[in-house]
Amino acid sequence: MTTDELATVTIDKSDDVLTVQIAGEVDSSNAQRIGELITAAESGARACIIDLTLLTYLDSAALTMLHRFAQLPTPLLLVTPAGSRATRLIEIGGLDTILTSHETMESAIAALGSA
Amino acid sequence: MSEEGTIAAGCATAEITLRAHGSDEVAVVVSALTPSRSAVQLEDRTPVTDAIRTGMNVLVLSSSELAARYPGFTPELARPGIDASASIPLVDSEGRVIGAVDFGWSSADIFDEGQLVVFETATELCARALDRVRLYELEYEARRLAENLQAFTMVLAGTESRADVAEAMVNESLRVLGADAASVSMLADDGIALLVSRGFDESVDQRRSRPLSVASPATDALMTRTMIVLESQDELIAAYPSLSTQARLDGDQSWVALPLVLGGEAPAVLFAIFRTIRSFSSQDRSLMSTMGLQAALAFERARLRENDLSEADKARQLAAAIGGLTAAATKVAVLAAFIDALPALDAQSGTLALLSDDGSSVDVQGGSEASPYLDSEWQTRSIGARTPLITALRTGESLFIHDRNELTSGFDLSAVEMFADGQRSWVAVPMYAGGRALGALGLSFIATQRFDDAQRVRLASFAALCANALTRAARFELEHSIAITLQSTLLPKQLKTIADVELSAQYNPGTRELSVGGDWYDVIELSQHRFLLVVGDVVGHGIESAAAMGKLATATRALAQVEAAPAALLRQLDRVAAADPSTQFASMAIVLVDREAGELRYSLAGHPAPLLKHADGTIESLDKARSIPLGGLVVERPEKTLSFSDGVTLLLYTDGLTERRSEHIDARTAVLHAALGETVIGVSGLPSALIASMMTGGEQVDDIAVLCAKFTRATPAFSRLVPAHTRHLSNLRHELRTWLVATGVAPSDCDDCLLAVCEAATNAIEHGHDSHSRPIDIRANDQDGRHTFSITDHGAWKQPVDSGGARGRGLNLINLLMDEMTVSPSDKGTTVSFTKVFETTSTP
């Protein structure tokens, strides 16, 4: 678990699946660093799930970070509850066309299992 | 007529020859033991025709005798061996020779006197039988006629209109007369017009309506009022050479034209054709003329009935139009009522000419049933114009113009008033009121008019009614405009500006004539924090009410400076009303607002309760302090106090807003509550929006005054200098959120603005390449429901090139989430600005 002033990032890797939970705010001041944290943990994972449920603020810097992860070979799933700020911005930013979102962590893991 | 008769009286053959009924010319063989003796002419020399002509027995006893006495006559019936004959005349009971019986035998047989007696006796028996048959046939024919006529009479009895009668005639002529096609045409203005037609080709129907001058059986029958029967093409061509080609083309063989004659007039004619040669017996002819007479009677009865109906319709239309005139309060309404009355006056179009106030010109406008307004504008003409209308107006005499000739020779029609093509008669009637000429009415008619006394009286009375209505309308219009002027002078031109209060008001005069004057609103400032909101409604309408309202409004203003408490102020106004009947029974709502104390005090004098809309959208009715309208009665005026917080909106209104004839006042008040609760419009547009919403689906009859006030404590504009580093953005968001909520934006609505501002700030930080030390200038303010944001840096603007990159994405987001984003680069830096309109502060 890594904490800065704005966000708390919890990274877990089990069964070769990387799960990342980001709580708090992600903006241009911390998006880059969070991105680096996840990239460092990502190697060797067969899939990555980023949980944005506890995110209270995100901006284009956060979207850019997610966009970059989407271009890595590791399959990426997002967890964004319906009606959340993250869901809305991902849609407005057009990222919903290249990223797969699930409403809960459970359904995301289930989707990986069945894949 | 037909006979079968076989007489075997010791002879080999016998045949009966009868004279054709009603004719001296043709003898017909009707029955024979041997076939195929054809018709013979009476003048032919044969034993039979001799017997018939002479009434005596003709005996031919051998073939040589036959050849000697009747050279060239070879009886075709002669069978081998039959060469003697006796032709015995058939004489009926009245001694007329009706035919003959011819007996034949072989001359080898013995013939004697005894034989002849047998023949004569047989012939006599035959004659008696024929007599009986003939009588029976006559009877049968008579009964058939009677039955046909009876059926026809019954059919006619069921007819109501002339078209019905014509229809019945056509059907019956096909049925009874066996016609192949038939039509009934009516005498029209200048020819005959087809009413009903059956069996004819369409092209033939088109010829059926034609001028009377074209000779034809139908027109002749109408003109001469006698039945015309043509039994062959030759007869038709002889009588109507011009129809010969057509007759041959049509291939018809017989024609009947039967006029419907009654009282020396023939209003219609039945025309029937037969595609085979038909001869018409005297019975046929008498049947037809009886049918013609019966149909004529039915036709006349239907005409009278139609007349009655149309007279009744006209009376109704006229009554309705006069009702319209009585209610008319404008000259346009008078014109509309006049146009409505045109059918009742038999006219197709009408024109109204009105003398101007100075009498130098005339305003003209007209219309017809089909297009109520010929011109959208009133046309102005000189009083000197020589048109029928203006001439009638000038001379004071009605002008009756019977035909176009009279019209064109007597008048100048360059100024076209009412003289559309296709019309035949015109009339111009002057209108007077109190001895003063007001104008003239013009009517034009498609049918030529006789202008009999009844019609002249009707037109003159109608013109008098119009004159009355116009006088009334002129008075109404004058008073209406004075009342509106007065009202608008008395209402505050501009509402007092009071700090932290948004005020807006609207007054709408009613659409009903004279529904103006009486309602008012006012805002009376008492001190920096205290002011009165007043709405009132004086009884009645028009100038007097407007004046009364002025008195009360002035009294309220003056008294409020001494006594501002609503109940006490109402008691003072009670004394004013007691002394001035015109202000009595006025209703008022007075609300004293104390901004500092956050308190509202109100009292109502017979007035609808003001409504308070809280920041969360709930509506509270200020209905606790009610009492009767202003007046002479000394009553206690109740008063209620309640506290309020910022963000509430107060609505005061007069009952014109909620009144609607067909709906209960409680239901309408509920509609108003809903409208006020749902609306998201700022105060400035609220009064008109509420009026529009309440008047949807109905007419605004009464006048309406609406006064709205919203209490807001203005939030100072947001202004921050943020160091050019992204780590300060989080704090900026926090401060900006606090400010947005203070301006009334719901917390849940803040996020988009925070994002947009931070995106712009991020851009500023990232491209402010020359110095990271210079702060970003962030400003926001809230005006008239619009939030405006600007973010200014001090670097040179760089157009983002990578649309997938963070910077392009950031700008894109601002564009998507905010309105009117602009980027203004300058030498000193770049400003990104945008706005956002929040619809409402629905949840706290």
CATH number of B328-481: 3.30.450.40
Q: List chain A residues with CB under 8 Å of B725.
A: 29
Find the DSSP H helices in B491-630.
543-560, 566-579
* Mean pLDDT (whole number) for B754-769: 83
Q: Check B726 against A64: CB less than 8 A apart.
A: no
Touching check for A18 and chain B: CB below 8 Å?
no
Residue span(s) of chain B under CATH 3.30.450.40 come to: 13-138, 158-307, 328-481
Highest-confidence segment of B439-443, B456-460, B643-647, B746-750: B439-443
* Mean pLDDT (whole number) for B463-480: 83
pLDDT given for residue B592 in this prediction: 96
Q: How many CA atoms lie within 13 A of B533 on its CB side?
A: 31
Under DSSP, is residue B204 helix (H, G, I), strand (E, B) or coil? helix
Q: Check A57 against B754: CB less than 8 A apart.
A: yes
| Beta carbons of B49 and B20 less than 8 angstroms apart | no
Nearest to B730 among A6, A63, A64 (CB): A6
Nearest to A59 among B727, B755, B805 (CB): B755
Q: How far is B646 from chain A (nearest CA, A)?
A: 30
Query: What average pLDDT is seen over chain B?
Result: 81
Fold of B158-307: Beta-Lactamase (3.30.450)
Closest among A70, A87, A67 to A79, alpha carbons compared? A87
B623 pLDDT tier (thresholds 50, 70, 90):
very high
The token pair that represents B704 in the structure block: 């309406």
* Mean pLDDT (whole number) for B671-700: 85
Q: Which CATH architecture describes the domain A2-114?
A: 2-Layer Sandwich (3.30)
* Mean pLDDT (whole number) for B457-465: 87
By percentage, how much of chain B surpasses pLDDT 90?
14
Q: List chain B residues with CB under 8 Å of A89.
A: 755, 813
pLDDT given for residue B281 in this prediction: 80
Report d(CA B436, CA B176) in Å as an integer.
Answer: 68
Q: List chain A residues with CB under 8 Å of B802.
A: none
If you measure CA to CA, which chain A residue comes closest to B727? A29
Give, for all 115 residues of chain A, the pLDDT tens digit. 666 778 899 998 888 889 999 999 999 888 888 988 888 888 788 889 999 999 999 998 899 888 888 888 888 899 999 888 899 888 888 888 888 899 999 898 888 876 5
Residue type, B271: F
Q: Check A60 against B810: CB less than 8 A apart.
A: yes
Nearest to B759 among A6, A59, A85 (CB): A59
- Whether ipTM > 0.95 holds is no
* Mean pLDDT (whole number) for B424-432: 89
Touching check for A42 and chain B: CB below 8 Å?
no
Looking at domain B13-138, which of 3.10.20.340, 3.30.450.40, 3.40.228.10, 3.40.50.10300 is its CATH number? 3.30.450.40
Q: Check A59 against B812: CB less than 8 A apart.
A: no
B776 pLDDT tier (thresholds 50, 70, 90):
confident
Q: List chain A residues with CB under 8 Å of B729.
A: 27-29
Which of B728, B751, B791, B809 has the most A C-beta neighbours within 10 Å, making it the best mutation to test the interface with A? B809
B35 pLDDT tier (thresholds 50, 70, 90):
very low
* Mean pLDDT (whole number) for B682-704: 83
Q: Residue B387 pLDDT more than 80?
A: yes
Q: Residue B741 pLDDT more than 80?
A: yes
| B254-307: pLDDT as tens digits | 899 999 888 778 889 999 998 888 888 887 888 888 888 888 888 888 888 877
Ramachandran region of residue B207, left (φ > 0), alpha (ψ -120 to 50) or beta?
A: alpha
B8 pLDDT tier (thresholds 50, 70, 90):
very low
Q: Check B765 against A63: CB less than 8 A apart.
A: no
Report d(CA B604, CA B536) in Å as an integer.
Answer: 10
| B359-380: pLDDT as tens digits | 888 888 877 766 655 456 778 8
CATH class of domain segment(s) B491-711 = alpha beta
pLDDT given for residue B559 in this prediction: 92
pLDDT given for residue B10 in this prediction: 54
pLDDT given for residue A42 in this prediction: 80
* Mean pLDDT (whole number) for B540-562: 86
Looking at domain B718-837, which of 1.10.579.10, 3.30.565.10, 2.60.120.10, 3.20.20.70 is its CATH number? 3.30.565.10
Neighbours of A113 (CB within 10 A): 9
Q: Which residue has the higher pLDDT, B624 or B311?
A: B624
Q: List chain B residues with CB under 8 Å of A92.
A: 813, 816-817
If you measure CA to CA, which chain B residue comes closest to A90? B813
Nearest to A25 among B730, B812, B817 (CB): B730
B337 pLDDT tier (thresholds 50, 70, 90):
confident
* Mean pLDDT (whole number) for B677-705: 83
Q: List chain A residues with CB under 8 Å of B727.
A: 5, 29
Report d(CA B349, CA B420) in Å as an integer.
Answer: 9
B634 pLDDT tier (thresholds 50, 70, 90):
low
Q: List chain A residues with CB under 8 Å of B817.
A: 92
Q: Check B809 against A5: CB less than 8 A apart.
A: no
pLDDT given for residue B798 in this prediction: 56
If you measure CA to CA, which chain A residue comes closest to B755? A59
Q: How far is B819 from chain A (nearest CA, A)?
A: 15
Highest-confidence segment of B165-169, B405-409, B609-613: B609-613
Residue span(s) of chain B under CATH 3.30.565.10 come to: 718-837
| B102-141: pLDDT as tens digits | 888 887 777 788 888 888 888 888 888 888 887 787 778 7
pLDDT given for residue B769 in this prediction: 54
Touching check for A85 and chain B: CB below 8 Å?
yes
pTM over 0.80: no
pLDDT given for residue B3 in this prediction: 39
Touching check for A72 and chain B: CB below 8 Å?
no
CB pairs under 8 A between A and B: 59
Q: Which of B62-76, B206-220, B721-735 has the lowest mean pLDDT?
A: B206-220
B566 pLDDT tier (thresholds 50, 70, 90):
very high
Q: Check A59 against B817: CB less than 8 A apart.
A: no
| Beta carbons of B353 and B391 less than 8 angstroms apart | no
Q: Residue B6 pLDDT more than 50?
A: no
Report d(CA B411, CA B393) in Å as an integer.
Answer: 14
Touching check for A33 and chain B: CB below 8 Å?
no
User: What are the backbone dihedrals phi and psi of residue A73, each rounded to the nearest 5 degrees, phi first?
Assistant: -70, -25
* Mean pLDDT (whole number) for B566-587: 89
Q: Which residue has the higher pLDDT, B548 or B110?
A: B548
The three-point CA angle B56-B61-B63 to 5° equals 120
Report d(CA B235, CA B255) in Å as an integer.
Answer: 10
Q: How far is A29 from chain B (nearest CA, A)?
A: 5
Contacts of range B199-204, beta carbons closer than 8 Å, 24 or more positions apart: B199/B174, B199/B273, B200/B273, B204/B250
Q: Residue B744 pLDDT more than 60?
A: yes
If you measure CA to CA, which chain A residue comes closest to B766? A28
Which of A33, A60, A97, A99 has the most B C-beta neighbours within 10 Å, making it the best mutation to test the interface with B? A60
Which of A5, A8, A29 has the most B C-beta neighbours within 10 Å, making it the best mutation to test the interface with B? A29
| B52-85: pLDDT as tens digits | 888 888 888 888 888 888 887 776 555 567 788 8
B2 pLDDT tier (thresholds 50, 70, 90):
very low
- Catalogue the E-assigned strands of B20-66: 26-32, 40-41, 58-60
Domain map (residue ranges) of chain A: 2-114
Q: Which of B163-167, B485-489, B697-701, B760-764 has the lowest mean pLDDT?
A: B697-701
* Mean pLDDT (whole number) for B582-609: 92
Q: Which residue has the higher pLDDT, B188 or B354?
A: B354
- Catalogue the E-assigned strands of B486-557: 501-508, 519-525, 530-537
* Mean pLDDT (whole number) for B694-719: 82
